Amino acid sequence: MKNISIIFSKASTFFPIFSWLIMLTERTPYSHVAMKVQDVQTGITLYYQASHTMVNTMSEDQFLAQESIVYSFDFGVDDNVAIAIRRFVQINMGIPYGKLAILGLTYVQFLKLFKINIKNPFKTVGKEYVCSQFIGATVEKATNITLPVDVNDLTPVMFYPIVENLPKIWLGNKNVTI
């Protein structure tokens, strides 16, 4: 059994305006979602994420130099799930950051001010990702867990209660609906 963590963080760099805007509109103390794993071959702690214009991986030192962890949720995963997570991340490495997704999610937030609820009009998951969409897609593609929200509509604030309710052990051969 391997351990992974889904973390919620906020930027700790100088003048992180984008992070502040996300926290303001989402009304949360965090603006980012990433997955923390231990590389089995090197022993290095890595963070999988969509940020800095693309899907990428950072070492723990690099990640913590830019982000402050606000919440962390730990999960045990069997070997099949650990391999599937790594495979999904590696296949998607370098996919662009979701500029259209951000535009769509901003539009959704704007309409909420007028009590109008819509889904993200831009369905770009797989072609581009924002952080919560990428980690949500990783969970769905690498496990038999079905999330209760379309990954295209996933924001950090929507993802938090889902992550809170995920099973603590992820097995590759068991279907789970949240």
Q: Cβ contacts of residue 114 below 8 Å, gap of 6+?
A: none
Amino acid making up residue 37: V
Give burial (CB, 10 Å; 0-12/13-18/19+) of 54: middle
Q: How many residues does the chain have?
A: 178
What's the pTM? 0.92
What pLDDT shows up at residue 175? 62
What is the rounded average pLDDT of the residues 131-136? 97
pLDDT in tens, 2-54: 999 999 999 999 999 989 988 998 899 999 999 999 998 999 999 999 998 99
Q: Token digits for 139?
A: 């969970």
What stretch of H or E contains 58? strand 54-59
| In the chain, alpha helices (H) | 17-26, 60-66, 79-92, 99-112, 131-142, 156-164
CA 174 to chain CA centroid, Å, is: 22
The residue written with tokens 């295209």 in the block is 152
Residue 74 has pLDDT above 90, yes or no: yes
**pLDDT score for 50:** 97
